Amino acid sequence: TADPAPDMEGVTAALKAAMANGAPGAMARLTGPDGVRTRAVGVRDRVSGAAMDTRARFRVGSVSKTFSSVVLLQLVDEGALELDAPVNRYLPGLLPDDRITVRHLLTHRSGLADYTDKMFAQTVPGFEAVRNRVFGYRELLDLSLAEPRTTEPGAAYKYSNTNFVVVGMLIEKVTGKAVGREYERRIIEPLRLRHTSYVHPDTRIKGTHVRGYLHPDEAGAPLVDSTEQTVSWAQSAGAIISDPADLNTFMTALMTGRLLSPRMLEAMTSVTPTDATNTRFYGLGLRRYDLTCGTRVYGHTGTVQGFYTYAFATRDGRRSLSAMANTSNRGAANTALGGTLEAAFCGKKPA
Ligand SMILES: C[C@@H](NC(=O)[C@@H](C)NC(=O)CCCC[C@H](NC(=O)C[NH3+])C(=O)[O-])C(=O)O
């Protein structure tokens, strides 16, 4: 059927598979015409043994990119800047190429190298080296500009955190305010996202929260508790803290037109393929996944030390899913967690 009931056994199986692949715990929260459903497995704290809890907060990683994209697109809606203008028009001399436009940043087509490739080439040493550091935007951009560009502007999709660091710089330049203030004023307060915050450079997660556990590169090495960090290496590209309910609310509000004009939402959801499977796409700070049942879901994934996140909704906002596993640097756990999407949005597989 076009709008099947979620397969909750399938959701639970995907969460358990994430655990079987190295996550201490995992959880999911679904909204739909038939109400809210939650599932949680394992622990949110390996020392206390506290059970995973769908009311607990965690670091959402690159789901932050969708928050940053919404703020920037609201500014475009307000005429404060233009999507197809060169970034250098608003930040004179910042980028080495006047052809790089605002749209190139939001679609990962700028060619700016991703500084995290080198920063985290060795997972735990790289993390330990930055977990308490506070970077300026300029420092992060300089790390990227020290690397060769990956493509001519606009020529190809190449995911890069650098793009959303520059988006943060644009937001602060155009508004004269810190990005955290803009998230609050334009998204968090209007939608009453009571458990969503941007506390950079504070390292703590306030309230009931999930502890994150990073897998070292060395097989069999013990997990590293990576919960406390500044996430200053990511900022507007990945430093937001939220919880399952707020992510459901955010993605649903986005899809139902509460945050952007119809024209801007149309632009945001206009996608190009990111891989050869033709089932994964990227628009403006937003991913689209085409599921096996034909349903298209929009949202973002997140990877920050100790936390994998999926936050997606159907285009009409009738259904949404947020899912989290408290580990990272373990691709199989991330892929397993991704299995919640098919179960949530496609329902039970036909026998
Ligand atoms: C891909 C993902 N991107 C994000 O969420 C951004 C904020 N995170 C990254 O770029 C990963 C940084 C390294 C993580 C580390 N990996 C390593 O250190 C590998 N050596 C880890 O897995 O924790 C997204 O858009 O879905």
* CA 304 to centroid of ligand 1, rounded, Å: 5
Say what angle helices 244-255 and 63-77 make with each other, to 10 degrees: 40
Tokens found for residue 85: 């203008």
Which sign does the torsion angle of CA 253, 256, 261, 266 carry?
positive
Check residue 349 and give its pLDDT: 85
Strands 307-314 and 296-304: antiparallel
Query: Could you tell me if the CB of 107 is within 6 A of ligand 1?
Result: no
Those residues whose C-beta lies under 8 Å from the C-beta of residue 9, and which sit 6 or more positions away, are: 343, 348
Contact (CB, 8 A) for 174 and 182? no
Contact (CB, 8 A) for 15 and 337? yes
Is 62 among the residues known to form the active site?
A: yes
Which sign does the torsion angle of CA 100, 106, 112, 115 carry?
positive
CA distance 133 to 78: 35
Return the H-helix or E-strand segment holding 147: none
CA distances from 256 to 2, 3, 36, 65, 124 (A): 19, 17, 18, 19, 40
Query: Could you tell me if the CB of 162 is within 6 A of ligand 1?
Result: no
CA distance 243 to 210: 10
Check residue 2 and give its pLDDT: 66
- The segments of the chain whose pLDDT lies below 70 read 1-2
**Closest protein CA for atom 18 of ligand 1:** 123
Ligand 1 atom closest to the CA of 114, numbered from 1: 10
Check residue 341 and give its pLDDT: 98
Check residue 3 and give its pLDDT: 80
pLDDT tens string 63-89 = 999 999 999 999 999 999 999 999 999
Ligand 1 atom closest to the CA of 301, numbered from 1: 26
Helices marked H in the chain: 8-20, 63-77, 87-90, 102-106, 116-119, 123-130, 137-145, 161-175, 179-183, 189-191, 244-255, 262-268, 331-346
Check residue 350 and give its pLDDT: 79
Query: Could you tell me if the CB of 299 is within 6 A of ligand 1?
Result: no
The pair phi, psi for residue 170, each rounded to 5°, is: -65, -45
Nearest-5° Cα angle at 332, 330 to 338: 110
Check residue 61 and give its pLDDT: 98
Ligand 1 atom closest to the CA of 237, numbered from 1: 7
Pocket test for ligand 1, best of 59, 60, 62, 218 (most atoms within 8 A of CB): 62
The pair phi, psi for residue 232, each rounded to 5°, is: -70, -15
Pocket test for ligand 1, best of 128, 140, 224, 304 (most atoms within 8 A of CB): 304
**Closest protein CA for atom 16 of ligand 1:** 329
Query: Could you tell me if the CB of 328 is within 6 A of ligand 1?
Result: yes
